[in-house]
Amino acid sequence: MPIVSFLEEYDFSGKTILPFCSHGGGGLGRSVSDITKLVPNARVGSGLAIHYSGGSDLDSKIKKMVRRKYPINCTQIDIKLYLLLILY
């Protein structure tokens, strides 16, 4: 699993991780609790799950929901994957 390998390889001490994903009905599942176990020295936010069933508007949906939930500048987010971690 690429996300697990990524989280195990780097030191996230003192970082905030805000997981989010697109889904067709499954939501985040156990992702937030699994991530929390993998990075015990980081703060893991509640997560953001975006229901998505196709089309070309996923990037704009993600940016809109992130702006609403988190106080960050979404113009700096380059969205190429549909499972992302925002670190700040």
- 20-74 pLDDT, tens digit each: 787 888 888 888 899 999 999 998 888 778 887 777 877 777 777 767 776 665 5
Give the C-alpha separation, 36 to 59, whole Å.
26
Supply the pTM of this predicted model: 0.66
Q: Which residues contact 11 (CB under 8 A, 6 or more apart)?
A: 41
Contacts of 74 (CB under 8 A, 6+ apart): 63, 66, 67
One-letter amino acid at 23 equals H
